[in-house]
Amino acid sequence: MNRLTHYSLVCEAPVVIPGPASRKLGDEMCKHLNIEVTGLEVRQFSDSETFVKVLDNIRGRDVFIVQSTNSPANDHLMELLLMLDAAHRASAARITAVIPYYGYARQDRKDQGRVALSAKLVANLITTGGADRILTIDLHSGQIQGFFDLPVDHLQAGQVLTDWVKDSGLKDFVVVSPDVGNVKLARNYANLLDAPLAIVDKRRTAPNVSEVMSIIGDEEIPGKNVLIFDDMIDTAGTICNASEALRERGAKDVYALAVHGVLSGKAFERLEAAPLREVIITDTISQAERPLPSKIRVLSVAPLLAKAIERIHDHRSVSDLFHELAR
């Protein structure tokens, strides 16, 4: 980047373009940044191809395209790619793909023969699309950062969840990891909240199907409130099975807290039926399109993302926004 481009990047306000998957979140971020939302036209042709057009001049600007790649994952991914290409061809000086929820993240290894390494392919596509940097939240595994040969700012929304716990006035609780893979993160939550930790030993019998084998540290559970922390709730099998097993072992009230509310399949019905007092998620994935069960509470990551954008734009450190819960 030459000195003139660098000067104009810092002197003019950042440009935020929310995509169809993240409109509400992007609008909230603009309010926190005190800037206007940059307009975008997205249309579908009758043969289902997507058309994207940026509605304002972004020549020479520091552009942040906000789009999660949640369901319908392929449509949202394609929209993101077209937005990146449109911004690139409109001569943006720098383009950051802000992907609050990175879909395809769970396909991040070749654990059987002849399967695609989808998380890597998606990273390649986003790079080819024209992104110069990535800003994302709670990747399913931190190593996915390495799938990009671009700077990645990987935020943790855990503080949004722990702030809720502190403000709720809940006392006498145990933090629970719903599976062994999540232990390090759950231990960090337990340390931050000064609470004991228990671990659910979960077995996956098929994709999206899980069962509880045992609970390590279950002597902590009887009579206590329980906070299950996970990175995401998808079909809700993991959280609902864990909540039942914890109640069987004498837990008082069980709360589920997760950053990404994927909530696919029968998740709503399952969460309603499960012995969960409340389910706390964030708005990395928009829930605006459908009425939510009353026990689901959505917290916003807009202030966190707005702070990160300010720092990236001003070339200030982003690391103090995410170091505490780093995996």
Catalytic residues: 202
Q: What are phi and psi of 119, to 5 degrees?
A: -60, -35
Task: Give yes or no for residue 235 binding ligand R5P (CB under 6 A).
Answer: yes
Of 216, 212, 214, the C-alpha closest to 197 is: 216
- Give least dist CB 229 to ligand R5P, A: 10
Task: Give yes or no for residue 238 binding ligand R5P (CB under 6 A).
Answer: yes
Which residues within the stretch 204-233 sit at the binding site for ligand R5P (CB under 6 A)?
Answer: 208, 210, 230-233
**Intra-chain end-to-end CA distance of the chain, in Å:** 32
Size of the site for ligand R5P (CB under 6 A): 15
Q: Spell out, one character per residue from 140 to 179, where the chain touches ligand R5P: x when CB under 6 A holds, - when not.
A: --------------------------------------xx
**Residue 97 Cα distances to 28, 62, 234, 296, 309, angstroms:** 17, 11, 23, 28, 11
CB-count burial class (<10 Å; 0-12, 13-18, 19+) for 33: buried
Q: Is 48 helix (H, G, I), strand (E, B) or coil?
A: coil
Task: Give yes or no for residue 182 binding ligand R5P (CB under 6 A).
Answer: yes
Under 8 Å between Cβ of 299 and 281: yes
- Give least dist CB 210 to ligand R5P, A: 5
Task: Give yes or no for residue 136 binding ligand R5P (CB under 6 A).
Answer: no
Q: What are phi and psi of 283, to 5 degrees?
A: -95, 30
Helices and strands, number each (H, E), in the chain: 9, 14
- Give least dist CB 277 to ligand R5P, A: 18
- Give least dist CB 7 to ligand R5P, A: 43
Judged by beta carbon, residue 133 or residue 266, the one nearer ligand R5P is 266
- Per CB under 6 A, the segment of 70-78, 107-115, 236-244, 274-282 that binds ligand R5P is 236-244
Of 226, 225, 240, the C-alpha closest to 271 is: 240
Question: E strand or H helix at 183, and its extent?
Answer: helix 183-193
- Give least dist CB 267 to ligand R5P, A: 7
Judged by beta carbon, residue 153 or residue 234, the one nearer ligand R5P is 234
Task: Give yes or no for residue 282 binding ligand R5P (CB under 6 A).
Answer: no
Give the residues lining the site for ligand R5P (CB under 6 A): 178-179, 181-182, 208, 210, 230-238
